[in-house]
Structure formats: structure tokens, C-alpha cells
Amino acid sequence: MEAEERVRTTLKYLKAKFKQYYETTPLHLPPRFGRREYGFIFFDGGYIQRHLAFSSEADLYSFLRSRLPSHIYHSAAYYENPGAPTMGEKGWMGADLIFDLDADHIPGSIGMGYKGMLEAVKDQVIRLIDEFLEQDMGFKSSEMTISFSGARGYHVHVRHQKILILKSHERREIVDYITGTGLDIDFIARSEPFELKTYKERSRTLKRLRIPTPSEPGWRGRASRGILRWVDQMSGLPEEEALVEIRKLEGVGQARSAKIYDTLFKRLGREQALERVRSGVLDFLPRAGGLSIAAQGVNLMKGVTDEPVTSDIKRLIRVIGSLHGKTGLMVVPLTRDQLEDFDPLTDAIPPIYSHETIRVHIQKGIETDMMGETFNLKRGKNRVPEYLAIFLMCRGMATLVSGTHDEESEETV
């Protein structure tokens, strides 16, 4: 009964804080506000209520304060009749191009911890913006809206006029480009003739493997930089560890891995090997080994995004400025410059959350970072700052404790 009471008290407390937030904090509503569909998830149930539209911002705020949703979404698409009950009746007019990068998409993110995952996914969103959207595709920063998702990643909205009418398969091709999906390795590493050998009446053309130089545009230069990165990584490993990694390359067995290692780091040496790669030649390696290294260069430089989100022209995405119901953190708008120093565990905490401590019951021991501090919490009753308590309660890791102060069963943080 005590646990059930804590759950009810927790829900009441969170609703009150969300209401306070929406009464005092304006949202960053999307362009063409009235052409969007809106969707909501509530504290009382996990279903999403969608197919809603609002004729004015005042109507939306009135809805929020009366219904108190835990999650707020708007459509990436624009519709003639956004409030129609079926997708077929809405009249699709176009859609923003949305990129969703989440910690789950980052290779090796398991075991990093929440703070580490957030740092890793930020590095990837910076790569997405700088290398792919701006450098390769030519989008300007003024045509992009960036936001922290409120939980484990970031969203990028692109609103260039020419991409609004792209259909799903065209958007999927953009994803394939970013992730290097289907990239032909022969486009990266090409066999080219460089000498004609003649013996008696027979002629033979000698070929060498040519790769791009790092300064070339698009995927060719990117793959070259990946090859340089891989060679540099291998040069820093002890021989046995390097051989293990080289054997992981596709089509490379034990004998070939030893030959590749000997060529790169015994015959040539690190600096000469890197210089040969920079010059665009892999003729010092067997063709099969060179192709395998070129493919690894591609793998190291692939971008990251959630394909279903980007290709879905009817997707709902979080409203910027809203609260994320599973963390209590804000969906924060960011510029590219702000992204560099943005710390979600400080900068996404709503100002209305206080530093005053409140009592919570922790489900199991946890170590977490927030507001520049590390908290080591034991299972059971603890006193923690309100901003941390809300975060833990939204994540289902803690419940609010009411009643008298119990010094013996309570940890003070």
C-alpha cells in the first residue's frame, strides 16, 4: 500500500510541475503552425492521441494546461486539413526533412552510461550537420533547426523549399548517402593501368589500386580520411592486437593480415604508409587487401541517423520547448555554435526546478551526473535536489516520499 501511495503522490507531483512549466514557459512552435497535426501522450496512459489541430496558439496552450500531457508532438508534414481523422483526408502538402540521432544508434554506446552516451551522440550530430548537411548537401544553417530531444539525442529539422515535397523513397536515398549504404567500393578504390609490359609477342598491362586523396569532395575524400584514420589506429597498437583487428577486415585471413601488417609497419613504417595513402595510392598492398582497407575506411566514416524517422513524411516529432515525459528535461532549441558547449544534464533542466531537496524512494542504487555534480544514491529513501528527483521520477527510478523525516532510513545527498 505504501508503494502504491508513493506512485499516486509521484504522479500528482509531476503533473503539478508540468502544469507550472506550461503556465510560465512559451513553446517554440513550428512554422506554419496551423497546417500541422499535433499529438500527445498523457501521464495516465501510454497511448498517443493525435489527429488534432489548433487554429491559434492560445487554443494549444489552453489544451496543454487543462490536459497536462507528458509528451507533445507536431507533424513534420503540412496538411490542408491537419485535424482530419484519417491520413487520407488530411491532404498532404509537404514535410520538413527530419533527422533523429539517438544514443541507441551509436556503435559502442552500450555501457557508456547516460552522460557518455549524450556526449557520443552530440559528436555524431555535429558530424551530420558539418560534413553531410552543410558540406556535401549545401544546406545553410538558417535552413536548419537543431534541438536536444529531451532524453537521449538530438533532432535536426531541414526546411529548404526544395526538399519539402520529397517523397519517402527520395528521403531514404538521403539516409543511404549519409550512412554509406550501398556505396560501391569500386567508386572509392579503382584499378588503373600504369605500365604496359611486353615480352616477345605478348603484352600485359600492370595495374595499381588508386584511392581518392583526403581533400576530394563527398564520399571519396571522406573514405580516404577514413583509411588514414584506420592506418593511424593500427600503427598505435601492439603487433598482436593490430593483427587481430586486421583479421576482422572482410576477406582478410591470417596469412593476408600478416602480409598487410608487414607491408604497412615493417617495410614502410607509419609515416611513409600514411604519406602513400595521402597521395592516393594503395599499390603497395595486394588488391584484395587494399579493397578491404578501403571498405574499412568507409565504415569508419559512416554517418548516423534513424532511417524510419527521416523517410517518414507523416512522422510526429517533439515540439521544441516542451518537456520530455520520461526525463522531465526540456526539448532545447540550439544553434550550431551553441551545440559545441551544450550540456543536457545542466542546460536542459527547466529553471522552475529548484535546488531544494525533497525525499524520494530509489528503486535500486544508482550513480548519475546532473548540474555538474555526481550523485551516488543507495536503494531506499534519499534526499535529493528537486531537479534530480523529477528526472528520476520521470524515468521510473524513484517515487516521491511523503510523511515525516526518517533519519535512520534516509541518505542525505
Let me know the angle formed at the C-alpha of 61 by 55 and 62, rounded to the nearest 5 degrees. 90
Cβ count within 10 A of residue 181: 12
And the C-alpha cell for 315?
Answer: 512522422
306 is catalytic: yes
Torsion over CA of 312, 316, 319 and 320, rounded to 10 degrees? -20
d(CA 39, CA 388): 27
What span, in angstroms and rounded, lies between the C-alpha atoms of 372 and 254?
A: 48
Q: Could you say which DSSP state residue 263 is in?
A: I
> Which among 102, 186, 283, 312 is annotated as catalytic?
102
Q: For residue 141, how many other CB atoms are within 10 A of its CB?
A: 13
Round to whole Å and give the CA distance between 289 and 251: 8
CA 53 to chain centre: 29
Please state the separation of Cα 62 from the chain's center in Å.
33
Q: Which residue of the set 59, 186, 283, 306 is catalytic? A: 306
DSSP annotation of 194 reads: E
DSSP-derived letter for residue 319 is P
Catalytic residue among 100, 136, 176, 369, which? 100
The β-bridge partners of 98 are: 157
Question: Which residue in the block uniquely carries the three cell numbers 513524411?
Answer: 313
Give catalytic residue positions.
Answer: 100, 102, 306
